[in-house]
Chain A
Amino acid sequence: MLAPVLHILPLATIIRERTLPVAGKVNVHVNQRVNPTDVIAEASFAREHVLLDVGRTFGVSPAAADKLIRVQEGDRLKQGALVAEGRGMFPRAINAPRAGRVMLAGGGQVLMEVGDARVELRAGLPGVVTQVLPERGVVIRTAGALIQGVWGNGRIDNGLMVSVLEKPDDVLNEQRLDVSLRGSVILGGHVRDLETLKAAAELPVRGLILSSLLSPLMGAAFQMRYPIIVTDGFGAMPMNSAAFKLLTTNNKREVTVNAERFDRYSGNRPEVIIPLPVSTEPPEPNNFETFAVGQTVHLRHPPTAGMIGTLSNLPPGLSTLPSGIRVPAAEVKLENGETVLVPLVNLEVVG
């Protein structure tokens, strides 16, 4: 059976596509080396539109109104600029209510886009641009450690990672966030109160890497202006041992925290990238495997959620679970020596 893969890799070639939400301008070229905070593409888009009904305002037909319109598609107008002018001894005028650009003029109406918003796309990771996607973004290649998580609050930043995590089930609280951590990416554990998230914002930090979060804090986590990545899930869950070992052994390194939301259709998921110097390019990770004995697997459902083990047996056919359900399952030897029967759909291969 095909197996999804959770990437927790000490060294891999990492290729990431970074794109704007709307068409814009790409600022970099192929083979250019970029840093995480470099603005690699930018775009502006209208937040709102204004429809001016010239015909209705002047009480004339659309065809007659078209003759009164004084602007053309593409014109940039200042606030108060003349849009249309009536006829007669005391002609009335329609002026632009706000500064903006004419999108359409015709049929007795003028449509303007107003309230320009600018969006800047940062590289998010250090690396080399391998492809430019015209008007959309780029593909960046780098080498380093890669740790994927399960949830992110949609933000991205980079900085020096400082671990306050001594064991996988540590709780990160307000008291552990002292001023020496200002400007760092903090490797913490489980967060169970809002005060901790607020204290991290006040320092401020450049990111939080957490094992788990209480689900009622999800809304507040979205509001935080720094990235938050959860490696294992919701509730009081320890960090899986593979992520814990890899992250703690890279303490005090520069990391990129891309806390983008887990999108199961695009495959984008929150991740920590730790750029590392390499002499030869490491392999690209596989995105899926076939379940096989000997694989390291991540258990993703209670009561063993977050645990790492070794797939020790793949019984043929269906197995009966303690819940009474019969499904394809595997025997997994956990790190504590215990062997458990786990449905295949509750497993992902670590690699």
Chain B
Amino acid sequence: MPASLVQNESILAIDVGATTTRAVLFDVVEGQYRFVASGQAPSTAEAPFKDIGIGVREAILSLQKVTGATLLGAQDQNLIAPAQPDGSGVDAVVATLSAGPAVKTVVVGLLSDVSLQSARRLAESTYSRIVDTLDLSDHRRPDQQMDSILRSRPDLVVLAGGTDGGASRSIQKMLEAIGLACYLMPMEKRPMVLYAGNQKLANDVKELLGGHVGKLEITHNVRPSLETEDLEPGRHELALLMMKLRQRQIKGVEELNLWSAGNLLPTAYAQGRVIRFLSKLYESTRGLLSVNVGASATTVAAGFNGELTLGVYPQYALGENLYGLLQQTDIADIMRWMQLDISSNMLREYLFQKSLYPSSIPATKDEQALSQAIARQALYLAVHAAQKDFPAHARPARVGMMPPLDLILGGGGVISEQSSLGQSLLLLLDAIQPVGIMPILLDQNNLLPLLGVAASRSHYLPVQVIESGAFIGLGTVVSVIASANYGDQVLRARLAYADGTEARAEVKFGGLEILPLPSGQTGRLSLQPLRRSDAGLGPGRSGVVPVTGGALGVVIDARGRPLQIPSDPVRRRELMKRWSYTVGG
């Protein structure tokens, strides 16, 4: 790309998470955008600070220490912008935000399996907790619906329903119940409303709700026809509405919005945006999957030919709602991931203790094992929830399995702060259980959402930063699907290196094998499946594929899909330890 296409603009990107605030500097080096450095500090949305600005400044100070650059005024601690001739300051700021309690949301649609599902998918594209739903099959009287809304005290109402030019009377009835409920709420507690239904009713919606809600936004119909779902305009409008809501709820958000000249987005939305963009850019024939396990939510963004599936799941977060995970899953399902002999009671107490102090981190190996097991299950649940919303053309060949992917990108504290890169990879493999052949990258500095929002300033920035190696390549994974018994040989693999040497592996069912291939190197991998197993080329099909290296190299995962985990705890722990040892302990 010619250097002249890139504006010579330094960009400070700030991510305010539930527990950690990061300040990241992107700058132009030799005509290309590069990730320069990052600094971090604890987030300060919560008491006693109750102002995200404190954490933001601390994170910038930490970045200043790393880079030696002066970004904040010495006296007033205000951001220096634009960059000054003496080298201080930055040209532009962009920001993402995931801090704040889950947004209590009422979802409204007409048909429970059509517009209500679209409204739900729209609501789940941000940090919402659905507290009530209304649709035609709801047999409550309007006053009962109203009381239910009043009791749930929503922050947000997402309204869909009716194809464009279609039914209107039923929606109007629901609008009345919502309007009355909002009217009865104190002014400062009235929810914000996003209407994404029949466009013919937009004026009626304004008339019925306009004066009684915190803010009303009308966007494109998420279901313009029965067969079509169009979530993207609604997602964008919802992201903007979320930031307005956070400005109302959290001190310092308004200032950050001013610093960023309006380039402030929900972290998950920005993550989704960059995945959709990359999926288009790289003309990904299969899919790109990005997962982020955080304190406020576990987010899954998948791009298939430019079509985005975005699921934000506060119920699978590792922060203050962690104890709620036990309402979503059985404790035995978390225990199945334990590498150490730790009782379920200890796990239960850990969940509750961690909920009390969401920012705390595991200091010992036992705690680390607990933390990893919880993260695996949270991510497993989130990926399975998101998978239900993948587009029809991306459905997997077998029910319950992932569709083939071109790339997986993992991020979030619990994944990037593992004791080794092998542990990060194993966590992703266990929870996602991908099929086929794909590289897996680790977003160690949680840059992906920041690239998504920085794209507002420069379309080149995300691509140039990614191509400059800002993410860590963990390796290329080959997943083997086979109907075999534990220990049966299912694949012969041979990796030919660029220097003419080669490495071989006889892969047995139930095991993990690694063929070393350092980062930056490429090789040709010959796969010869046995017993009609499928190594990503089709059942029983052999072939040669080009592969790229990574920290682990080429990882052949023949542990089964779905993953075969023994029910006997002793045997299970032994196996888990072996897998862990294989990836470097």
Contacts and interface: CB of A to CB of B under 8 A. Distances in A.
A50 interface: yes
B47 A264 contact: yes
Contacts of A113: 184
Interface string A31-68: 00000000000000001111100000000000000000
A343 interface: yes
Contacts of B47: 263-268, 287
Contact of B363 (A2, A233, A263, A321): A321
A300 B359 CA distance: 11
B419 A343 contact: no
Interface stretch (A8-16, A82-90, A161-169, A323-331): A323-331
Given A103-B184, A264-B46, A233 B368 contact: no
A23 interface: yes
Contact of B348 (A23, A216, A323): A216
B282 interface: no
B385 interface: no
Interface in A222-237: 233-235
B75 interface: no
Given A150-B356, A215-B352, A267 B50 contact: yes
A301 B49 contact: no
A343 to B, nearest CB: 5
B174 interface: no
B58 interface: yes
A2 B320 contact: no
Interface in B432-488: none
A262 B356 contact: yes
A2 B44 contact: yes
A323 B349 contact: no
Nearest to A112: B143
Interface string A331-349: 0000000000111011000
A2 B59 CA distance: 11
A267 B48 contact: yes
B419 A323 contact: yes
A300 B49 contact: no
Interface in A111-148: 111, 113
A91 interface: no
B518 interface: no
B430 interface: no
Contacts of A235: 345-346, 349, 352-353
Contacts of A303: 363-364, 366-367
Contacts of B142: 51
B361 A327 contact: yes
A343 B348 CA distance: 22
Interface in B343-394: 345-346, 348-354, 356-368
B534 to A, nearest CB: 35
A215 B141 CA distance: 39
A235 B19 CA distance: 24
Interface in A208-222: 214-216, 218
Contact of A324 (B101, B146, B419): B419
Contacts of A324: 365, 368, 418-420
A215 B349 contact: yes
B184 A323 contact: no
A185 B150 CA distance: 36
A73 B146 CA distance: 18
A233 B363 CA distance: 18
Contacts of B581: none
A62 B49 CA distance: 52
Contacts of A266: 47
Nearest to B353: A233
- Interface centre among A51, A113, A150, by most chain B C-beta atoms within 10 angstroms, is A51
Contacts of A2: 41-42, 44, 49, 54, 58
Contacts of B367: 301-303, 323
Contacts of A300: 356-357, 360
A99 interface: no
- Interface centre among A214, A216, A301, by most chain B C-beta atoms within 10 angstroms, is A301
B547 interface: no
Contact of A51 (B49, B143, B365): B143
A150 B353 CA distance: 9
B9 interface: no
Interface string A254-277: 000000001111111000000000
B506 interface: no
A244 interface: no
Nearest to A343: B361
Q: Please list the 9 inter-chain residue pairs (A to B) with the smallest Cβ-Cβ separation, ordered nearest first.
A: A324-B419, A267-B47, A235-B349, A287-B48, A234-B352, A323-B368, A51-B143, A264-B46, A301-B360
27 contacts: A2-B49, A2-B54, A22-B186, A49-B150, A49-B180, A49-B184, A51-B143, A51-B146, A104-B180, A113-B184, A215-B323, A215-B352, A234-B348, A235-B349, A235-B352, A264-B320, A265-B50, A267-B50, A301-B361, A302-B367, A305-B353, A322-B364, A323-B364, A325-B361, A325-B418, A346-B360, A346-B363
Given A2-B42, A303-B367, A323-B365, 10 more contacts: A1-B41, A49-B150, A215-B348, A264-B320, A301-B360, A302-B353, A321-B363, A325-B418, A327-B361, A346-B361
